[in-house]
């Protein structure tokens, strides 16, 4: 009896073990296996192997702070901020609130990057002020990133000049259908960010059970073709009161298979050392993911005003999940390494 009958699968995976990238067609084939199959397990294991080798078995922690909340004109049907269905009361973090959150994320000195998140429409003056405040508190080894709405190149150059390293931006699955935004504007912003000299962190999201393999792979390759710096996969969470909740959600096991395929499709890119899974889970971290995001304040996948007490993970929960997933180092934003072990976790928790 042969372990794996699919010679084609073995050939694709051996190619990745020889440090070769895989094609769009290969990705579609890898996603065609059931998530519970032996083949899918093998795909996840190979992705785990190549990513741990490339990163010297390191993982990174990102933090995200929602600096404002209001009924968002993006109107995304899967997001708790979308206008027409949001139940959040508009709020903008003041300096004191923002400072406290920055300290929470940064004081231990092991945060790779801190995201400041706004709604689709944002006040540039407030954002630049928040960046300035973040810079004055965060250590130099923590990069500052933004997660903002569509923006032109001049605005993005100004944001970069203010000290921001990168931007999280995506053209979502179902953009323009399940959102009020134009897919072309989303991709243009991603291109503007690259042209402005910002690193692009992107993601295939928000994945639901109804998305086809072709849709997933086309979406994954938007970021790859733009030379992204980090990639990821995020499943859509069926949050009550969001219009797409009726479709349900994919399993963490299927999400891990998608993460594995993204890792295998990107790990040969010189810029790609890290790959994310949202929401964080251990199956993803043994399938090629090595980015974990701690969240504070509001979160588009949560109805609570303080997500770190609800769906979001705080910094300690992130460190523990990485340790339990077998990572040996946490990397700071300057790529320096901190050995990750129980002593380290206990010391930080004191
Ligand atoms: S996902 Fe972003 S753009 Fe869409 S409604 Fe939520 S905050 Fe707005």
The model's pLDDT over 194-209, given as tens digits with 9 standing for 90+, comes to 999 999 999 999 999 9
Q: Which atom of ligand 1 lies nearest, measured to the CA of 117? A: 7
CATH of 21-349 given 3.20.20.70, 2.30.30.90, 3.40.50.261, 3.40.50.620 = 3.20.20.70
Structure token digits, residue 166: 């990168």
Structure token digits, residue 51: 């990513």
Dist CA 350 CA 347 (whole Å): 5
Q: Are 318 and 45 in contact (CB under 8 A)?
A: no
The residue ranges of the chain whose pLDDT is under 50 are: none
Confidence (pLDDT) at 82: 86
Alpha carbon of 69 to ligand 1 centroid (Å):
10
Alpha carbon of 283 to ligand 1 centroid (Å):
27
For a ligand 1 pocket test, name from 68, 69, 71, 72 the mutation site with the most ligand atoms within 8 angstroms of its C-beta: 72
Indicate the pairing of strand 166-168 with strand 113-117: unpaired
Dist CA 282 CA 340 (whole Å): 16
Dist CA 196 CA 152 (whole Å): 10
Dist CA 242 CA 74 (whole Å): 14
Alpha carbon of 120 to ligand 1 centroid (Å):
6
Alpha carbon of 119 to ligand 1 centroid (Å):
6
Confidence (pLDDT) at 58: 98
CA angle 244, 246, 249 (to 5 degrees): 80
Residues with CB under 6 A from ligand 1: 72, 74-76, 79, 81-82, 119-120, 179, 300
Q: Are 266 and 274 in contact (CB under 8 A)?
A: no
Q: Which atom of ligand 1 lies nearest, measured to the CA of 80? A: 6
Confidence (pLDDT) at 22: 95
Q: Are 203 and 215 in contact (CB under 8 A)?
A: no
Name the closest-CA residue to atom 7, ligand 1: 119
Confidence (pLDDT) at 106: 96
Q: Which atom of ligand 1 lies nearest, measured to the CA of 172? A: 1
Name the closest-CA residue to atom 5, ligand 1: 82
Q: Which atom of ligand 1 lies nearest, measured to the CA of 75? A: 5
Confidence (pLDDT) at 302: 63
Q: Which atom of ligand 1 lies nearest, measured to the CA of 82? A: 5
Quickly list H helices, 169-274. Answer: 183-195, 213-225, 252-266
Q: Are 38 and 46 in contact (CB under 8 A)?
A: no
pTM higher than the cut 0.85: yes
Alpha carbon of 146 to ligand 1 centroid (Å):
14
Confidence (pLDDT) at 240: 79
Name the closest-CA residue to atom 3, ligand 1: 74
**Which is it for the CA torsion 49, 54, 60, 64, positive or negative?**
negative
Q: Are 159 and 146 in contact (CB under 8 A)?
A: yes
Q: Which atom of ligand 1 lies nearest, measured to the CA of 73? A: 8
Alpha carbon of 50 to ligand 1 centroid (Å):
33
Confidence (pLDDT) at 89: 84
Alpha carbon of 218 to ligand 1 centroid (Å):
21
Alpha carbon of 112 to ligand 1 centroid (Å):
24
Alpha carbon of 105 to ligand 1 centroid (Å):
23
């Amino acid at each position: 009896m042969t372990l794996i009958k699919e010679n084609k699968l073995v050939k694709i995976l051996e190619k990745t073990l020889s440090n070769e990238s895989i094609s769009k067609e290969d990705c579609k084939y890898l996603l065609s296996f059931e998530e519970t199959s032996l083949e899918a397990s093998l795909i996840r294991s190979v992705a785990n192997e190549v990513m741990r080798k490339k990163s010297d078995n390191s993982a990174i922690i990102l933090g995200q702070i929602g600096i404002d909340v209001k009924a968002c004109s993006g109107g995304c049907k899967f997001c708790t901020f979308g206008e027409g269905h949001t139940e959040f009361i508009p709020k903008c973090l003041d300096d004191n609130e923002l400072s406290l959150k920055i300290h929470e994320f940064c004081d231990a000195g092991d945060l790779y990057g801190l995201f400041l998140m706004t709604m689709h429409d944002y006040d540039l003056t407030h954002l630049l002020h928040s960046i300035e405040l973040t810079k004055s508190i965060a250590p130099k080894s923590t990069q500052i990133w933004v997660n903002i709405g569509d923006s032109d190149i001049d605005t993005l150059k100004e944001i970069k000049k203010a000290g921001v390293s990168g931007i999280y931006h995506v053209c979502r699955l179902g953009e323009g259908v399940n959102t009020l935004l134009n897919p072309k504007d989303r991709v243009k912003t991603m291109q503007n960010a690259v042209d402005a000299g910002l690193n692009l962190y992107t993601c295939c999201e928000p994945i639901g059970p109804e998305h086809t393999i072709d849709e997933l792979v086309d979406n994954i390759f938007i970021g790859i073709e733009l030379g992204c710096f980090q990639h990821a996969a995020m499943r859509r969470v069926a949050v009550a009161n969001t219009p797409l909740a009726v479709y349900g959600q994919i399993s963490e096991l299927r999400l891990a298979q998608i993460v594995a395929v993204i890792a295998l499709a990107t790990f040969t890119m010189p810029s790609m050392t890290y790959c994310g899974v949202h929401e964080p889970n251990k199956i993803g971290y043994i399938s090629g993911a090595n980015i974990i995001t701690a969240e504070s304040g509001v979160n588009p996948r949560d109805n609570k005003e303080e997500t770190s007490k609800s769906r979001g993970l705080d910094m300690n929960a992130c460190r523990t999940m990485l340790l339990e997933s077998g990572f040996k180092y946490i990397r700071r934003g300057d790529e320096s390494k901190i050995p990750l072990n129980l002593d380290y976790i206990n010391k930080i928790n004191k």
